[in-house]
Amino acid sequence: MIFSRCRRPLLAFALCGAAFTPASLHAEEAVRLGTIYLEGGDGGAISGGTGYTVSETATGIKAGVPVTEVPQAVGVVTEQELKDRDPVQIEDALAYVPGVTASVWGVDDRYDQFALRGFDLGTSGIYRDGLLNKAMNFSGFKVDPFMVQRIDVLKGPSSVLYGSNDAAGMVNIITKRPVFAPFTEARLSYGSHDTVEAGLDTGGSNADQTLAWRLTALTREGANAEKNTRDDRDLLALGLTWAPTDRTSVTFLGHIQRDRLAPNSFIPVAGEDYPAEKGELPASFTNAQHPWNRFDTEQASIGWQAEHAFNDALKLRQNFRYARQTTDYRHIYFNGMILPDYTPSDDTMNFAAFSVDETAKTAALDTQLEYRSTLAGGENILTFGIDLSRREVSGRMGWDNSYSVPVSDPSYDFVVTAPGIYQDNTTKVIEKGLYLQDHLRFSNGVTVTGGLRRSWVENTTDNHLSGSTSRQDDTATTGMIGATWDLGNGFVPYASYAESFTVNIGSSFSGEQFRPTEGKQVEVGLRYRPEGSNLQFAAALFDITKTNVLTSDPGNPGFSVQTGEVRHRGVELEARGQVTEQLSVVAGYTYLDARITKSNDGDAGNRTPLAPKHQASIWADYAFAGKAEGLSLGAGLRYVGETWGDTANTRSVDSYVLADMALRYDWEGYSAALGVTNLFDKDYAATCDASVGCIRGEGREVTLTLSKRF
């Protein structure tokens, strides 16, 4: 932000967004204030918001409408919230969004991982600026929060607008972009594990306000809590906006990024994975990784977001991005209490060496034609879109499970050699889609939104070891319908039905190609915004069913059939915004009944893994006034209920409560901030597996940051 934050809900625009002259002053007493520049204010569907709230979104309806007119739950992490909590990863930024379980795979720097409405999305539900940013194989295209302006979470099926996607929903990361005002912010931080970071965010425009630019740079050198790990990053992001007229604008966005990170680390637990009498593994082993491990990536992207209004009724938009990542991944990991010949053991840990050397490339193009008119006495927005994505990953993988480590004397003091190559493939996925979405707004406060999509997906794999090629073609038709009703007193109820699809690769024992998994959701909800306040309340009741889920073939062991079904029902509650002039709050609660309803594995009736029945969180930030003006204190609590680590529900994972804190002092353009996550250093398991133990959640992390705005 270019200016100090303003907490006053009624005077936010008058005092924070423009030169203000009180009407009670006589003309000769008027005072001219200096120019105050706005960056990321709540002025649009991709803006950073005002405080902890936003008014509009372009994620649920690409034309961009008020959040209250989207007939599905939408969670938003605003620019101010990102600034206050200063998350290190995108998954950390999502930690206070109801319905989201952040860091479900514990300490794992490779990807941003989370569950949404009980479904483990991993990295398959991440978008950036409305275009897919999904992982391919082990290439995750990780995004740094320092280059992010805002994050939208659209909950429930979103295939009508975004194609192949899980029924849980999707996360849309909005990249920082140029603003037509000069600004510069530099920062330097030091944190746990001797992590040092420096960042710069600067931009400006030409004199006639037709060209704006932005440069965001960051460099970090550090580690995580485990010995023999690295957490290094070099990032340079560039943006250029050309707006020759008020009807035409083009924003070019590009970035390059180099990471040196660490993989995850599952460890067996005494009394569960091996006999308790053999004792706990020493901390010197559980808090370390083999020095052979590494996860080194280099990625780059370039693209544009263009818009041209032919007139007040007709508008053309086009978004494009090309991204490329190379991944050099080596991992010696716990492979179970077995010997190399797969004989079960109660005192020997088997470790496998795994290697990946691959290159992934993604190109995504989304072209939309928007037409605004009057229909049935209401304001109508019709959006027709054509999108195309092409993803390709090519590389080799090696594996060797010949390493044994005794429980009685565990150590990583052994040599690892490069494992033999067992896979050398090139996989290409091409998805094409035609979609139509209509949003009709009546004068009585009712809006109706409907959409329809037809998708075509081609998946081709070239096996370079065997010289063979396999190909799979899928088609899917998805739709959605929903309505909202502004009652005029701040209350806006809504209801919707939406569909999704995700592609399954492979075939059954009989050779029949697997059909896409289909998702259906019914959702009803209520939003409330008290008049004259900057507070928002929301409640959602949802029922999601996924069919055509792969499950084991009872007549042909080792093969699958599509008779599986999963059903997730739940309630989400959220409150966010300014309670008083100084106090901002984000609070949420989720109840989830996540069940496997059909399965050939004997799991029917069990709870879905990684899906807590109860979750709750609250974050509060208080900006002091008077002599302590400039000082702010933030604190939060996160509760995640008990989960299961496997579909058979044989391995439970205890609930946990984590506390976070942030202390900041702003003065004369300077800012000093202290951030702490897991304040009391809670030792907990993020998840466990029936055969490979548990993976720990992140311990206490402390960061001290000094920044300067110019």
CA angle 477/481/486 to nearest 5° reads 160
What domains, with CATH codes, occur in the chain? 12-709 (2.40.170.20)
How far apart CA 537 and CA 178 sit, in angstroms, is: 31
Per-residue confidence (pLDDT) for residue 6, from 0 to 100: 39
Q: Is 121 exposed, middle or buried (0-12, 13-18, 19+ CB in 10 A)?
A: buried
Residues in CB range of 1: below 8 A, 6 or more apart:
39, 40, 79, 80, 83, 709
Q: What would the pLDDT profile of 552-574 be if each residue is shown by its tens digit?
A: 878 777 788 888 999 999 999 99
Buried/exposed 42-72: b ≥16 CB within 10 Å, e otherwise:
beebbbbbbbbbbbbbbbbbbbbbbbbbbbb
pLDDT at 390: 97
Classify residue 209 by burial, with Cβ atoms within 10 Å: 0-12, 13-18, 19+: exposed
Amino acid identity at 261? L
Q: Say what the pLDDT of residue 42 is.
A: 54
Q: Report the C-alpha gap between 514 and 390 in whole angstroms.
A: 21
Provide the 10 A C-beta neighbour count for residue 273.
23
Strands (E), 418-516: 421-441, 446-463, 468-485, 491-502
| Ranges of the chain whose pLDDT falls below 50 | 1-41
Q: What is the pLDDT of residue 527?
A: 98
Q: What distance in Å separates the CA atoms of residue 324 and residue 303, rounded to the nearest whole number? A: 12
SS3 146: helix
Q: How far apart, in Å, do the first and last CA atoms of the chain sit?
A: 11
**Is the Cβ–Cβ distance between 218 and 233 less than 8 Å?**
yes
Instruction: Give the SS3 label for residue 310.
Output: coil
CA dist., res. 233 & res. 687, Å (int): 27
**Strand ordering across the sheet containing 169-175:** 74-77, 148-155, 169-175, 126-128, 131-132
Report the Cα 134 to chain-centroid distance in Å.
Answer: 10
pTM of this structure: 0.92
Residues in CB range of 222: below 8 A, 6 or more apart:
191, 193, 194, 195, 196, 197, 230, 231, 232
pLDDT score for 4: 35
> How many CA atoms within 13 Å lie on the side-chain side of 362?
23
At 223, the amino acid letter reads A
Phi, psi of 348 (to 5 degrees): -130, 125
Q: Which residues pair with 576 in a beta bridge?
A: 536, 586
Look at residue 690 in the predicted model and tell me its pLDDT.
86
Task: Evaluate whether 419 touches 399 at the Cβ level (below 8 Å).
Answer: yes
Say what the pLDDT of residue 5 is: 36
What pLDDT is attached to residue 562?
87
The DSSP 8-state label assigned to residue 71 in this structure reads: S
